[in-house]
Structure 1
Amino acid sequence: MTEELSINLDSIVIPTSSSKVFKDDCMFSFDTAFDPNGLDICMTCHQAFSRGEFKYTQMHSEFYNHDIFLNYKKIRKINNKCEIENDEQPKKMIKLEIKETLESDLFDIKCSIYFQKLNKSIEYPNNELPLKVSQAVESILNSTSSEKKEEISSWELEIKPCKHSLNLIQNPISNLQLKKCNNCELNENLWICLHCGNLGCGRSQFGGVPGNSHAMLHEKENSDHYIAVKLGSLSTDIADCYCYSCDEEIKVPNLSKLLKTFGIDITKFIRTEKSLTELQIEQNIQWDFKMTVGNNNEELKPIFGKGLTGFKNLGNSCYLASVLQILFSLKSFKDAFFNLNGIPLDKILGNFKPYEDIETQLFKIGDGLLSGRYSKPDNFTTETIKYQHGIKPSGFKKLIGEGHNEFSTMLQQDAFEFWGYLIDKLEKKKIYGQLNNSPTDSLKFILENKIKCKNCNFVRIKNEITDFINIPININLLEKDINGNEIYEETTVNESIKSWKLPEIFEYSCPKCGNLQEAIKEVGFKTNPQYLVINPQRIILKNWVPTKVTVPIKFDETLSLKDFKGNGLLSGEEEFIDEEGEGEEITNEPQFDQNVMNSLFDMGFTENRVKHALFATGNKGAEIAMNWLFEHIEDPNIDKPFKASINVNKKENNFVDSEKLESLSNMGFTELISKKALILNNGNVEAAVEWLFNNPDDDGVIEVDESNNDNNDNYNDVLLKKLEQENDSSGEYQLIGIICHKGTSVHSGHYVAFIKKEVEIDGNKEKRWVLFNDEKVVLAVKENMKEVESSGYLYIYERI
């Protein structure tokens, strides 16, 4: 080795098994080891950088004085059948036969030691290298990358027992047989009823698995026979168990003992069929979503270019991918997180752990999606049509979900709930990117909530800043087809907003009348947002189970809000105004029992809904919260990010009406807790009494973070004035994006995004609908848009 390439051994750090080693993509871009320059893995901090367009390796070296890198390149091998093996684009994930595959079986790996300051490299292995360098290199090469650790866990589904599997009673039938379905000739996809032993075929499944649903028919004829087990799945380490009542895959305690009732010894069974988990994984990876059209099943045409980059599915990450595709199609998010010159310097300098910084990850995604550098055909696949390889948002997914009960897992999640969670996270952390204000401000608008006493015409008007509306779907069941599928009458977004706008009659404690009166509650738009987000409420309760309905919503590309404005104060009405003003918002986050939350999660309820229910019922347990959820499943605010907010006046002595306080005190409640109950329930005595009985152990203390609330109040005041000043009176909108969901449950199935884009076709630019189905980005056709009608889950309109 020449003297000019002498190595400072003190700068070399040998990673241990607990060290973070990044070798999947660059910290600031989606360049990978498959690119011509490979990746440069810092031998001091073990982060990966690239020498691509933006010279991130050089920047890291100069900013942090880390000079020595392991240059790491992968070249895909071609096997004897001339098919290209590529573990980064699995066509199927099959667990029936598990064998360890080494990287060296799939790739040729080339390494060298790169000295950045001298711009010199020496090949590795090299006998002239000091032992410490060789040890560090081997440790890096043999380590499991941070991304791969996430991928390993991404295929694990958390399946838990349900209440029906905990107290299972067995009564075996007399004609027990395990050869074929009791109702037809099928001898595969067989499910045994764990209550009586009846053998029935299952539903037809993804991948061509046949089924006539006779196991489900048996449960309908025997309403307390909830649990069935798939015979072909049985082995000592896995078994498919399903609860028809919960409509979920579950675990059954003491399954081996229960099966022995029917003469089945699980230790002697050899698994012959794919499990539901494997079928779900294949479905998530391969979901076509009409990727072929016409009688000849012609594949849709992939397109490439700036703003046309797809995401690689990380297992069950399509909910996240569809949300990010929509957000980064909005001008405010492009302006905030896309820089033509790559990651801004201030996110590289002084940002030693970019993998822990959400804003950096957003800039990385902005560059990946919008630059066009990664939107090119992936020639290393066996598919005839060459789609993209797709960028992997692994770092962002891990970081944004940290600490969250659902988004930190690798299970499929609700895209709309993730949308709200992400928006809320960006606002709380004040992540503005290159803007002076939040990019989420473009989603904000003012809703007018008006309550009018029918007795005295006293009116109370409250203006609320929000960033979406939940609208009911007009459900009219027409018939069922020969397969039992429900056929619904078509509706429109416009009709659903009309239903949302309808006045509501309720009992109201009128401040002028001084007692309960009938009142009319109305809601309407006071301002029009730049982007209007609408969530049709497709989740309804069927047999006490949250189920998605496929009511077709007519595909209309325009929407007018002119008929949905708030009415304001009308002639003959008198507005009630608090003497102390609207007050300030105080947040007091309660503590919930995690075991209770988990049991409600298992029933299919989302975190926001669970928290709303537990807070409303005084944290009294899963059953009480579940009953509350069933009663309030259609509440318009049920999916809003949970925040235990109370509206109080700044002068503590004027928080509540003294007469109401006295009435509660006369019932035996202390003044402190009575005051809190009234504040939490906006002065409604009946609701306060219910809250008091649900919260007998509450200490009545309201914690206030004055400084934080002052900041939030100031920001909201500024935003309120800004929205009022910028309001557009026309209220005309055009549809620019839709997130669609296929499947009966939001916790399974598949999400895709349709976005109106300007694309170049035959040399001409025109606006067309583009389908983003993970890494597959294609021009949509009429058949696709027809599917949107029954699967549209989140609609995004832009103000004209």
Structure 2
Amino acid sequence: MPPCEHVRGAVLASLASTTPVYKKECTQCFDDQDMGEGVDVCLTCFNGGCPVTPGRHAQQHALKSGHLLALNIRRVRKAADTAGADAEPPAKLTKLEIKEESDRDKYELKTFVRCWGCSGARVDGGPAELDAAARAVLHAVEATKSQEVKGWSVELTACAHFEGLAQQPAEGFELAALRQCSACDKRDNLWLCLTCGHAGCGRRQYDGSGGNNHGVEHFQQTGHLVSVKLGTITPEGTADAYCYSCDDNREDPHLAAHLHTFGIGVETQQKTEKSIAELELEQNLRFDFSMTTADGAQLAPVAAPGLTGLRNLGNSCYLASVAQCVFAIDRFRDRYFASAGDHFAACTHARPAQCVLCQLHKLAGGLWSGRYAALERDPDTGAAAHQRGISPVHFKAAIAADHPEFATMRQQDAFEFLQHLTKQVDVAERAVAGGTQSPTSVFDFTTEERLQCQCCKRVRYKQQRATSVSLPVIKRLPADPTAAAEGVVQFAPVSFAECLELMTADETVDGYQCPTCERPTQAVKSTRFATFPKVLAVQARRFELVDCVPRKLDIPIQIPLGPIDLAPHRGAGIQPDEELLPEDDGAADPAGGAAAGPDAATEQPVDAGVVAQLESMGFPHERCVKAVRRTGNSGAEAATNWLFEHMDDPDIDVPDEQPPRAAAPSAADPAAVEQLVAMGFPQAAAERALAKAGGDTARALDRLLSGADDGADDAEADAAAAAGGGDESAESAQFELTGFVSHKGSSVHCGHYVASVRHGLGSETQWFLINDARVAVQPEPEPERAYLFFFTRAD
């Protein structure tokens, strides 16, 4: 039967090594190669879609894009092979000792081309170009694996041993000989000597498998220093290269010329084997992260809608823990779960895997549909074991795109990721609905800052928007010295109420330049809640700096699981007997430090909350003030980075007499304005934010998202603060703990995050422990050592 008209008229896209190919999992749900009918890979744009209900995203993609041909890939597991099951893993893995555990040994791929223009019918026959396109997809590195490899990899550099290389093909050299090791029958993991063209297999593995060391032996016998791994050469002129002298992976800047010596043209090559970086990633996942402590392993495993685990991608526990707590919030669930189908039908993004909103909807569907919440069975006992979980790899790639830290595979701070996540959600939501549907509004609240001069007794009130609280934790040793274990510092537990009181307590500010007294005086400052959020996110600052190195403090915080009343920490606004300070004191520095002289009014004020946060980490006051000013009040993270970068500056402790201010341009950069307007911000607000941010787009975006440039006049905002806050100030101040993220480990630089979430109300309340893909009932939640808390308002 001849192929259909859609095949005859199809324009098949060429596939470069850098082209993202989504072939393991649907980009809009978590159906994958191992489920049902497999995954359809579009042969035009290489998007992956599920071909069956309920999503049927492959067909939806074809009809929206007009890309009608797809390669269906379904993976079927072979019969179990127990050979080598008793082998012990190596004590140490080195780069050329890595063994690829090939999927071909475990699985068989079933493939065929289908045409969605013919209702998904199978295509039999077809031109040679169609068969070549299908083979290219099968050999391509999966897009998510490519992203993970990029995150793991360090940037390779060249070395002198590739320069001026004296190449001379060995006598009798033939190109056909490169298909097999020159000393044995191995046909994969072959290394080409760039000096003489010898093809040798890789190193022998710990269990006797793998290569036979013939590549290494050739170097030992000849002293030829550099080689390239055959099977990793791409048409773009890249490949795995290794220098035995440096004993490391290197980049060969002259790869095309070096290969040409042996009659190999890079433009004709097709990558057919996994690179060293890809194999390192697999080993890291298999050995490092499967060995994490099994928190909750003795608890009863569970799987249900809202209780679906997230697989660890490698150091991704911070992301999984925060995502579980955030998507347990009803506003996030309602925004992204119920409306997923509508968004997928309307989304115009060319690649759903790179669309933040698509991935938010996908993750919500994966967590709440229950479709992927299934307990696996122990093959020996038949008892219910933990879930396999779903992979958040597409979500991570979209939400962390281009971020210098979250795009890597390194461990990150959970609180910093929460801040990044809410920012990315706000940006994505503003682009489609002006931000009116953004669920991050559940975190929004307003603080009231009160400052009173102790000489004239006049006061000033100021409101600031916030999305989280950084809670100081009181450090004190136990009263009984025998309670401390030998060589281990133990701290006495503190109550959550004590920490709240410390956060909102009065603070003395020396050297306040009072505009009424017209001289340095002493002032008292405090920060309280003007309004309360629907969900209060709280970071416990359970760390300190020791010799400029952050150290984790193991201080238990006694957190009640019942109602918590925050009413005592609500600001009351101006009182009848209070008189306001005049508004003309631009020199006033709430964080301390006199601003004398005629130029004082031009000095840049600092965010006192950020200054206090930095001081709690152990930095001296003057350094904190300088860092906040030098980073333009851009937040604690930017100020902390500045401090570490300038720690050795000779004037680090010298106060700024005239703090530097970025000169605001006479007119904002039109391209920057257009970029912010495209995100959904009004043009006037974008121009104002850019002016105040000195033309820096990133800082301007932070100002816009924080509401600092929403058009409200500062004087009006302060007047509202003095009046006692907004309408929300009358809302309930009763909160209950509904989720928390705990950090397991003694260091801030490494360890493991797990999440605990509460489901149900009243007598139906139940806690669950979520450790990556494993979810278990948690009869006795343990928030005492948690790092990040989520309190939900009881109304």
Q: TM-score, normalised by structure 1?
A: 0.65
- Give the whole-Å Cα distance in 2 for the aligned partners of 1:639 and 1:158: 32
SS of the equivalent of 2:372 reads coil
SS of the equivalent of 1:40 reads strand
2:144 touches 2:393 (CA, 8 Å); kept in 1? yes
Using the TM superposition, give the Cα deviation of residue 483 of structure 1 relative to its aligned residue in structure 2, in angstroms. 5.0
Q: Match of 2:300? A: 301
**Are residue 363 (structure 1) and residue 354 (structure 2) matched?**
no
- What whole-Å deviation, never above 9, does each CA across 1:374-424 have from its counterpart, x for those lacking one? 111245988965222221121221222223221121100000011112222
2:29 touches 2:55 (CA, 8 Å); kept in 1? no
Amino acid at match of 2:581: F
Using the TM superposition, give the Cα deviation of residue 694 of structure 1 relative to its aligned residue in structure 2, in angstroms. 6.9
- Measured on the aligned residues, the alpha-carbon RMSD in Å equals 4.5
- Give the whole-Å Cα distance in 2 for the aligned partners of 1:699 and 1:432: 29
Using the TM superposition, give the Cα deviation of residue 75 of structure 1 relative to its aligned residue in structure 2, in angstroms. 1.5
- Give the whole-Å Cα distance in 2 for the aligned partners of 1:639 and 1:769: 40
2:738 touches 2:757 (CA, 8 Å); kept in 1? yes
- What whole-Å deviation, never above 9, does each CA across 1:570-617 have from its counterpart, x for those lacking one? 3532112537999xxxxxxxxxxxxxxxxxxxxxxxxxxxx999x99x
- Give the whole-Å Cα distance in 2 for the aligned partners of 1:400 and 1:568: 39
Using the TM superposition, give the Cα deviation of residue 789 of structure 1 relative to its aligned residue in structure 2, in angstroms. 1.4
- Cα separation, partners in 2 of 1:789 and 1:157, compared to 1, 3 Å: farther
- What whole-Å deviation, never above 9, does each CA across 1:243-292 have from its counterpart, x for those lacking one? xxxxxxxxxxx999xxxxxxxxxxxxxxxxxx9x9899855443235324
- Cα separation, partners in 2 of 1:114 and 1:10, compared to 1, 3 Å: closer
The one of 281, 287, 298 equivalent to 2:292 is: 287
**Are residue 552 (structure 1) and residue 556 (structure 2) matched?**
yes
- Cα separation, partners in 2 of 1:768 and 1:134, compared to 1, 3 Å: same
Q: Match of 1:390? A: 389
Alignment of 1:396-795 (within 5 A): 396-431=395-430, 436-478=436-478, 479=481, 481-482=484-485, 484-506=487-509, 507-557=511-561, 558-578=563-583, 630-631=619-620, 644=633, 690-691=655-656, 695=660, 706-708=684-686, 709=688, 715=710, 724-758=726-760, 766-782=764-780, 785-786=781-782, 788-790=783-785, 792-795=786-789
- Give the whole-Å Cα distance in 1 for the aligned partners of 2:13 and 2:85: 36
- What whole-Å deviation, never above 9, does each CA across 1:176-208 have from its counterpart, x for those lacking one? xxxxxxxxxxxxxxxxxxxxxxxxxxxxxxxxx
Q: Match of 2:133? A: 136
SS of the equivalent of 1:519 reads strand
- Give the whole-Å Cα distance in 1 for the aligned partners of 2:283 and 2:69: 43
- Give the whole-Å Cα distance in 1 for the aligned partners of 2:492 and 2:710: 44
- Give the whole-Å Cα distance in 1 for the aligned partners of 2:85 and 2:6: 40
- What whole-Å deviation, never above 9, does each CA across 1:598-657 have from its counterpart, x for those lacking one? xxxxxxxxxxxxx999x99xxxxxxxx9999722599899999976469xxxxxxxxxxx
Using the TM superposition, give the Cα deviation of residue 544 of structure 1 relative to its aligned residue in structure 2, in angstroms. 3.5
SS of the equivalent of 1:62 reads helix
1:16 touches 1:139 (CA, 8 Å); kept in 2? no
Size of the aligned set, in residue pairs, is 589
- Give the whole-Å Cα distance in 1 for the aligned partners of 2:24 and 2:631: 36
Percentage identity across paired residues of the two chains? 26
- Cα separation, partners in 2 of 1:549 and 1:64, compared to 1, 3 Å: same
- Cα separation, partners in 2 of 1:645 and 1:626, compared to 1, 3 Å: closer
2:317 touches 2:754 (CA, 8 Å); kept in 1? yes
1:526 touches 1:565 (CA, 8 Å); kept in 2? yes
Q: Match of 1:107? A: 107
Amino acid at match of 1:568: G
- Cα separation, partners in 2 of 1:433 and 1:308, compared to 1, 3 Å: farther
Using the TM superposition, give the Cα deviation of residue 505 of structure 1 relative to its aligned residue in structure 2, in angstroms. 0.6
SS of the equivalent of 2:149 reads helix
Q: Match of 1:796? A: 790
Q: Match of 1:54? A: 55
Alignment of 1:58-457 (within 5 A): 58-81=59-82, 95=93, 98-122=98-122, 128-155=125-152, 282=287, 284-292=289-297, 299-339=298-338, 342=341, 344-348=343-347, 350-379=348-377, 385-431=384-430, 436-457=436-457
Amino acid at match of 1:137: A
Amino acid at match of 2:619: F
1:420 touches 1:641 (CA, 8 Å); kept in 2? no
Structure 1: runs of 5 or more not aligned? 86-90, 160-235, 238-253, 257-274, 293-298, 583-610, 617-624, 647-686
- Give the whole-Å Cα distance in 2 for the aligned partners of 1:346 and 1:643: 42
- Cα separation, partners in 2 of 1:432 and 1:339, compared to 1, 3 Å: farther
Using the TM superposition, give the Cα deviation of residue 518 of structure 1 relative to its aligned residue in structure 2, in angstroms. 0.2
Using the TM superposition, give the Cα deviation of residue 2 of structure 1 relative to its aligned residue in structure 2, in angstroms. 3.5
Amino acid at match of 2:392: P
- Give the whole-Å Cα distance in 2 for the aligned partners of 1:443 and 1:369: 21
- Cα separation, partners in 2 of 1:795 and 1:643, compared to 1, 3 Å: farther
Structure 2: runs of 5 or more not aligned? 157-224, 227-244, 248-279, 588-605, 636-651, 674-683, 690-703
- Give the whole-Å Cα distance in 2 for the aligned partners of 1:640 and 1:754: 38
1:359 touches 1:431 (CA, 8 Å); kept in 2? no
1:306 touches 1:370 (CA, 8 Å); kept in 2? yes
Using the TM superposition, give the Cα deviation of residue 542 of structure 1 relative to its aligned residue in structure 2, in angstroms. 2.8
Q: TM-score, normalised by structure 2?
A: 0.66
- Give the whole-Å Cα distance in 2 for the aligned partners of 1:754 and 1:433: 32
Using the TM superposition, give the Cα deviation of residue 519 of structure 1 relative to its aligned residue in structure 2, in angstroms. 0.2
